[in-house]
Amino acid sequence: MLTAPKPPDQGARANLWLGILLIALAALSWSTAGLFPRIVSTDVFTTLFWRSTLGGASVLLAQAVFNKRGEWSSLWRLTRAEWLMSIASSGAMVCFIAAFFFTSVADVVFIYSAFPILTLLLSALLLRTAVGRMDVLCTLTVIIGMGVIVWGQTSLHSLLGAGLSLTATLLFALITIGIKRYPQAEMVKVTYVGAFIAALAMAPFSNFGTTSTHDLLWLWLYGFLNVAVGFGLYLLGVRRIKAVLASLVCMIEIPLAPLWVYALFGEQVSQQSLLGGGVIVSAVLVNVALHRH
């Protein structure tokens, strides 16, 4: 007796595309990260302190409002894995934002293009995950795009910024792997605890006396948009799709970030950089369109 073919799992397909959408919106939010250091007049430590404090407070407030348990103590009760990811999150935030003060937005995000390959390698090493041909092909394409972009742009002047960006990229990849390794971890807690850890680390070096109301308003928006909105959307999305696919979708941030600062501040982006960014975006779109899992 012949049986009809099994229809595709519409629920799984919808969940996949929802995850892709959430990650894409998070990347759009993060692509504005380089704008704020050029708007405010505060130094790197003060900027990091207020961004982390105000961003973490926004996430904590939302968590407190929707806390079903009604226990304030539960907001600070973290597992060992959650504490480790919080520390990694704080380091990633500090390194990534600080890098904008030492080198151009383009240089920071171009180095961040290594995120997919680091996530791919760490996922295979730590989670023993299978690596598909499409994942490998798109990741190699992303690397080619990164090579086109960074060719001739590195210098001793931007060495510190490059090192900070690379460190942030590695930590972000580890966080992505941690989310997959510990699916029960409450990542909202990781977000605001990580932000507060970063704020505490920056507090001794910050200059609070000269922070204007204008700067505080921009820094609150910085924290809310990049921490609350960006990390919130990312953490919701990454649970729904493969770690490598999540990292590839995040690559839409790469061409967008330099374009924002060029449009608003005239920070130049070479044709070579735009070409590489186009290659990266193409790889992301192909991977999303042809993904089967």
List the chain pLDDT tens, one digit each, 293 residues: 444 455 556 777 888 889 999 999 998 998 998 899 989 999 999 999 999 998 899 888 888 877 666 567 778 888 999 999 999 999 999 999 999 998 888 888 877 877 777 777 778 778 777 777 777 887 788 788 777 766 765 566 667 887 898 899 889 889 888 887 888 888 888 989 999 999 999 999 998 888 888 899 999 899 888 888 887 788 788 888 876 677 778 878 888 888 889 888 888 777 777 787 778 778 776 766 665 54
280: in domain: yes
Quick one: pLDDT at residue 293? 45
Torsion of CA 22, 24, 26, 31, to 10 degrees: -170
27: in domain: no
Q: Are 280 and 146 in contact (CB under 8 A)?
A: yes
Domain holding 223, by residue range, is 34-67+74-290
61: in domain: yes
187: in domain: yes
26: in domain: no
Instruction: Give CA–CA dist 27/251, Å, rounded.
Output: 7
4: in domain: no
Centroid of chain to Cα 191: 12
Q: Are 109 and 145 in contact (CB under 8 A)?
A: no
- Find all residues with CB under 8 Å of 88, minimum gap 6, and list them: 171, 174, 175, 178, 194
247: in domain: yes
Query: Is the backbone of residue 104 left (phi > 0), alpha (psi -120 to 50) or beta?
Result: beta
Q: What pTM did the predictor assign?
A: 0.78
Quick one: pLDDT at residue 154? 59
12: in domain: no
